[in-house]
Amino acid sequence: MKNEKLVPKKTSQTIIKKCHCCGALMESEREVERCTKCRKAFLPSHYFNKVHAKNSDEYRQLFDFAQDLHEDDLVKGLCVLW
């Protein structure tokens, strides 16, 4: 009989976002910057509570990973954590 150790799987959250322009659904572990269908640009969650970025690299860092977001951070009907 083999002695196997059970390693618990790390559960990761997924952000499911619906585009408010074309209605496309996107799934990602990080906030989506643009719609994959119509290319509409999105703002990160709580954008106005964060320091505004001075360049495009800083702007990309404002988009959080799913595990860093709380359900209260999301706009209901456009995003959901799963």
For 42-51, what is each residue's pLDDT tens digit? 888 777 666 6
In whole angstroms, what is the distance from residue 23 CA to residue 40 CA? Answer: 11
Q: How many CB atoms lie within 10 A of CB 53?
A: 14
Question: pTM score, two decimals?
Answer: 0.62
Of 62, 22, 27, the closest CA to residue 39 belongs to 22
For 54-78, what is each residue's pLDDT tens digit? 778 887 888 888 888 777 777 666 6
Reduced to 3 states (helix: H, G, I; strand: E, B; else coil), residue 55 is coil
| Pairing state between β 25-28 and 15-18 | antiparallel
Strand order in the sheet with 25-28: 25-28, 15-18, 79-81
